[in-house]
Amino acid sequence: MATSDATQAGDGAEGKDEGKGDQGNGAQNPTEVAQEIRFGEVKHDLPDKDTCLTVLQKMLLIRRFEERAGEMYAKAKIGGFLHLCIGEEATIVGATQALRDKDYLMSTYREHGQAIARGTPPETVMAELFGRVDGCSKGRGGSMHLFDMERRFLGGYGIVGGSLPLSAGVALACDYMETEDAILSMMGDGATNQGTFGETMNLAALWKLPVVFVIINNQFGMGTALHRHSAVTDLSLKAQGYGVPGTRCDGMDVLDVHSVVTDALKCAREERKPQLVEAVTYRFRGHSMADPEEYRSKDEVEEWRGRDPIQAFGKRLVNEGVITQDQFEELDEKAIKTVDEAQQFADQSPFPDLDSLYDDVYVYTGDAPGWWTVDERSPEVHRGEKEREAGELPHQLAEAGAAYANVGDQEARNRRQSQDEDDEEESGEGEVSGDEPEAEGGAD
């Protein structure tokens, strides 16, 4: 049963109360939201024991993984930006558990949990955060661009709202190919203010696409509180004018999220009526690791920590005799061990070879002549796609630059340099160097 349910099969949210809050336009204060959501109340019966354990294990693994990722970022093992989903585990696991194996999933840049919940091995996720070749995106995506086509996880996206039109495209493909597949498209509350939000909702409703949009409302768009960046704070209302009805759920209750998203997917899949779900949740950490969190009080964070979705679900399982407290702690220890192994795997995975810099940038068919990418790091300018065939000088300069910037695996570079020297000794004198202009068909 949804915490707050719109008329899913209709064109608008007739089930919503009009004139909420002081503004009469969907604005609500925190007390009203808490009363509607009923945080901490039991809303659904427990599923079978195996399902309960699966859900708990996934949430514990995501929590411990994110905590370790934060530690590794502080130790400079992870570069760029890092956005942690600590506190949002119930929303992530509850929603993804509602998907079929062949359904698609798209997310924001805060997507480590989504990848793990979908089944991507934690070690390949951690390796990706480390920028290593064994990462799920071969070390080229990093924290914000995880990808796993095998599990139909189509990635995190660094642009706020940027994945929404792509989600509609995937849903259109599902419909066009006459499959029963659907897509779950996750966004943050800030994405509802982007132009892509309205455009996508309009097309999804117009074309009757099998898509469910989930707003992970963690109360802040970066450092801006919801009531300061959105005139309508009941975000489940924001798509009704486009013909996409909305439903609200308790994002701190994994069973409530699962129930609401399951119903929404059923409607989108079987009736071809797209749905919007708002999961009201909270992130316990900052927007990113660089966030000083000056926009919220410690008391507010502690109040939300009292609704910790993992502790709440675990406590219920213990109270209802599904597991013991000792078993809960054993599952937690198992999650920590899994993360230990993931970190070790990532540490041992090599960095991508410098010669692979231009790999997979474009699809080369030979139909369109020209230099798609150009490497100008040396006097011997060459096509980027010919990087592996470039002369020795560009290689030396590239490796010297990486060494100067302290990027990459110095030991690996030394091994390759030693191997190159051995190859030169074995090749003997008089070999034509790849540096010569003839290697590229002339000096012009």
Answer with the residue of higher pLDDT: 384 or 77.
77
What pTM was estimated for this model as a whole?
0.81
Q: DSSP assignment of 67-99, as one string?
A: HHHHHHHHTTSS-S-----TT-HHHHHHHHTTS
> Would you state the pLDDT for residue 410?
63
CB 349 within 8 A of CB 127: yes
pLDDT at 361: 75
Which pLDDT tens digit goes with each residue over 55-92? Answer: 999 999 999 999 999 999 999 999 999 999 999 999 99
**CA 289 – CA 373 distance, rounded (Å):** 33
The string of pLDDT tens digits covering residues 230-253 is 999 999 999 999 999 999 999 999
Over range 400-427, report the average pLDDT: 61
DSSP assignment of 121-153, as one string?
Answer: -HHHHHHHHTT-TTSTTTTSS-TT---BGGGTB
> What is the DSSP-derived secondary structure letter of residue 218?
-
CB atoms within 10 A of CB 245: 27
- pLDDT in the model for residue 132: 96
- Please report where in the chains the tokens 């943050």 appear, as a residue: 188
Backbone dihedral region of 71: left (phi > 0), alpha (psi from -120 to 50 degrees) or beta? alpha
87-102 exposure pattern, b = at least 16 Cβ within 10 A, e = fewer: bbbbbbbbbbbbbeee
Q: What is the pLDDT of residues 188-244, one digit of tens each?
A: 999 999 999 999 999 999 999 999 999 999 999 999 999 999 999 999 999 999 999
**End-to-end CA separation in angstroms for the chain:** 71
What DSSP designation does 269 have? H
CATH architecture classification, 30-348: 3-Layer(aba) Sandwich (3.40)
Q: Domain residues of the chain, as ranges?
A: 30-348, 354-428
Beta-bridge mates of residue 105: 153, 184
- Which pLDDT does position 49 carry in this prediction? 97
